[in-house]
Amino acid sequence: MKVLVVGSGGREHALSWKIGSSPLVDEVFCAPGNGGIAADAICVDIPAEDIASLKKFAKDNAIELTVVGPEAPLVAGIVDAFQAEGLPVFGPVRRGAMLEGSKIFSKELMEKACIPTAACGVFTDAEEARAYARKAPFPTVVKADGLAAGKGVIVTGCADEACTAIDEILVRKAFGSAGASIVVEERLVGEEASFIAICDGEHIVPLASSQDHKPAFDGDEGPNTGGMGACSPAPVLSGDAYGRVLDTILYPLVGALKKQGITYRGVLYAGLMITDRGPYVLEFNARMGDPETQPLLMRLKSDLVPVLYEVAKGGSIKGMELAWENGPSVCVVMASGGYPGPYEKGRVITGLADAGRVEGVKVFHAGTRLQDDRVVTSGGRVLGVTAQAPDLEAAMGRAYRAAGLISFEGAHYRKDIGHKALRRLS
Ligand code: AMP
Ligand code: GLY
């Protein structure tokens, strides 16, 4: 079959690569793709948000499966548009993607389903929000309701900081209409992990656990980013905790969505805080994590396409299972100088071929493009150097050996991806 992957980041590179390895697949297209995806798929110059053109491309080229990577087109209704034309597409409909598109929708749903999550208040009025933050017996986190390119969450240490954050979003409108309403919630303490699963509206096929590293610098210091690296599995979700997430979070969520009349078919991603009281939900996403997808798909032994296709055509995934390599995987994100702040583009990248020859390594491209016959940077997160090995230390060793072979002006990356997992194992 012919498959179209929508998106242009490291996650979409990993998806294109994995889908292309399926014996069921003849051709993979990626729209718009990037400089590295071009080696694993045919890149099509259509932006991920241009739903009308994507639909036309899928129809004209007899695409049998479209897999949507990022959240923006999901929230904009790409799945509804494809379904209206009878085109098989993997991802939730617009109302389902509200799980990610509106933090208030997601908090209300969690409350209805008794899913463990931080206590919160919802506000449009700054004075009321400030009063809540001042009275709260805990430090708070202030969140814009809508999509704010991963920047709409402000973690605060005291009521004064919370009030500043509230004013930033509700009064100074730092995130525009995405911040017309806010959630002010309890700041939870624990270790973060990601739980990603595929859902057919009723049944769930969970992926292995994973862990992102969001702050820019080693030791979880510095500003928040889209994710500076990830590993799988996440030891903090071993044994009991993994099953608890399914029983106390994901199945109740699917039930609550159904009660709202939403048959949720696509990826359910729970961003979790593992607290003393068990796993709590920080947020839900309606798509796979980036960079978690890169190490996850490196470890995935099974063909992913049958599960995606079944969901896309409205079938059942009951009883389907995914098999994983026992050995862990690690993804180290190499970023442009300045990221997550302003950064320059167009820097020539060298050493990619050598890095790709390190045993167990695949270099996924996130923000690159081809210029003549060179690969140059074109985004904040540039590469996801990903490695799999029989044990975590070896996987980290391989990923860092490969990253050390790559250079571009201004490149920076964290040197401690996987350390938290390693500490927990020892
Ligand atoms: P989100 O975009 O909701 O995942 O939030 C971004 C980051 O903010 C998360 O990865 C956490 O590090 C942090 N965060 C969000 N909500 C909370 C919370 N209730 N308590 C502590 N940290 C949080
Ligand atoms: N890795 C965090 C995210 O994809 O939202």
Of 71, 124, 68, 141, nearest to 100 by C-alpha is 71
The one-letter amino acid at 181: S
Give domain status of residue 323, yes or no: no
Beta strands in 190-277 (DSSP E): 191-200, 204-206, 211-212, 215-217, 221-224, 229-232, 265-275
Give domain status of residue 394, yes or no: yes
Of 280, 284, 289, 253, nearest to 187 by C-alpha is 280
| pLDDT at position 151 | 83
Asked if 220 and 302 sit in the same domain, the reply is yes
Select from 150, 180, 210 the last residue of a domain.
180
Residue nearest to atom 11 of ligand 1 (CA): 282
On the CB side of 98, CA atoms within 13 Å amount to 14
Query: Stretch 55-60: mean pLDDT, rounded?
Result: 98
Sheet holding 89-90, edge to edge: 42-43, 27-32, 2-7, 65-68, 89-90
Assess contact for 219 and 415: CB atoms under 8 A.
no
Pairing status of strand 204-206 against strand 89-90:
unpaired
Asked if 221 and 299 sit in the same domain, the reply is yes
Query: Stretch 300-321: mean pLDDT, rounded?
Result: 98
DSSP assignments along 123-179, one per residue: ES-HHHHHHHHHH-SS-EEEEESS--TT--EEE-SSHHHHHHHHIIIIIS-TTGGGG
CB of 292 within 6 A of ligand 2: the answer is: yes
Asked if 247 and 301 sit in the same domain, the reply is yes
| pLDDT at position 211 | 98
CA gap 53, 121 in Å, rounded: 40
Asked if 154 and 45 sit in the same domain, the reply is no
Give domain status of residue 72, yes or no: yes
Taking only the tens place, the pLDDT of each residue in 20-41 is 999 999 999 999 999 999 999 9
The answer, yes or no, to whether residue 121 has pLDDT greater than 90, is yes
Assess contact for 257 and 220: CB atoms under 8 A.
no
Assess contact for 69 and 12: CB atoms under 8 A.
yes
CB of 69 within 6 A of ligand 2: the answer is: no
How close is the Cα of 138 to the center of ligand 1, in Å?
Answer: 15
The answer, yes or no, to whether residue 243 has pLDDT greater than 80, is yes
Ligand nearest to the CA of 283: 1
How close is the Cα of 270 to the center of ligand 2, in Å?
Answer: 10
Assess contact for 189 and 138: CB atoms under 8 A.
no
Q: Residue 50 to residues 27, 108, 333: CA-CA distances in angstroms?
A: 22, 31, 28
pTM (predicted TM-score): 0.97
Q: How many CB atoms lie within 10 A of CB 135?
A: 9
In this prediction, residue 227 has a pLDDT band, given cuts at 50, 70 and 90, of very high
Least confident of 141-155, 202-216, 390-404: 141-155
- In angstroms, the first-to-last Cα distance of the chain is 45
**Range of 209's domain?**
191-312
| pLDDT at position 149 | 80
Asked if 293 and 372 sit in the same domain, the reply is no
- Select from 155, 175, 290 the residue to mutate for testing ligand 1; criterion: most ligand atoms less than 8 Å from CB: 155
CB of 212 within 6 A of ligand 2: the answer is: yes
Asked if 51 and 140 sit in the same domain, the reply is no
Give domain status of residue 119, yes or no: no
In this prediction, residue 230 has a pLDDT band, given cuts at 50, 70 and 90, of very high
The DSSP element (H or E) to which 122 belongs, if any, is strand 120-123
Asked if 15 and 75 sit in the same domain, the reply is yes
Asked if 246 and 340 sit in the same domain, the reply is no
| Number of domains forming the structure of the chain | 4
Residue nearest to atom 4 of ligand 1 (CA): 283
Of 152, 105, 146, 119, nearest to 253 by C-alpha is 105
In this prediction, residue 137 has a pLDDT band, given cuts at 50, 70 and 90, of very high
Asked if 285 and 350 sit in the same domain, the reply is no
Q: List all residues whose CB is within 6 A of at least one atom of ligand 1.
A: 118, 141, 153, 155, 185-188, 192, 214, 271, 273, 282-283
Select from 279, 312, 345 the last residue of a domain.
312
The answer, yes or no, to whether residue 138 has pLDDT greater than 80, is yes
> b/e for 70-101, b at 16 or more Cβ within 10 A?
bbbbbbbbbbbbbbeeebbbbbbbbbbbbbbb
- Residue 58's domain is classified under what CATH number? 3.40.50.20
Asked if 354 and 411 sit in the same domain, the reply is yes
Taking only the tens place, the pLDDT of each residue in 373-411 is 899 999 999 999 999 999 999 999 999 999 999 999 999
Asked if 195 and 172 sit in the same domain, the reply is no
Give domain status of residue 321, yes or no: no
- Residue 154's domain is classified under what CATH number? 3.30.1490.20
Select from 312, 346, 377 the last residue of a domain.
312
| pLDDT at position 240 | 87
Give domain status of residue 120, yes or no: no
| pLDDT at position 239 | 81
Q: Residue 228 to residues 33, 340, 402: CA-CA distances in angstroms?
A: 20, 10, 16
Asked if 305 and 233 sit in the same domain, the reply is yes
In this prediction, residue 316 has a pLDDT band, given cuts at 50, 70 and 90, of very high
CA gap 78, 68 in Å, rounded: 8
Give domain status of residue 355, yes or no: yes
> b/e for 215-242, b at 16 or more Cβ within 10 A?
bbeeebeeebbbbbbbbbbbbbbeeebb
Taking only the tens place, the pLDDT of each residue in 288-308 is 999 999 999 999 999 999 999
CB of 290 within 6 A of ligand 2: the answer is: yes
| pLDDT at position 399 | 98
Assess contact for 51 and 27: CB atoms under 8 A.
no
Among residues of the chain, what percentage have pLDDT more than 90?
A: 97
Give domain status of residue 71, yes or no: yes
- Residue 394's domain is classified under what CATH number? 3.90.600.10
In this prediction, residue 361 has a pLDDT band, given cuts at 50, 70 and 90, of very high
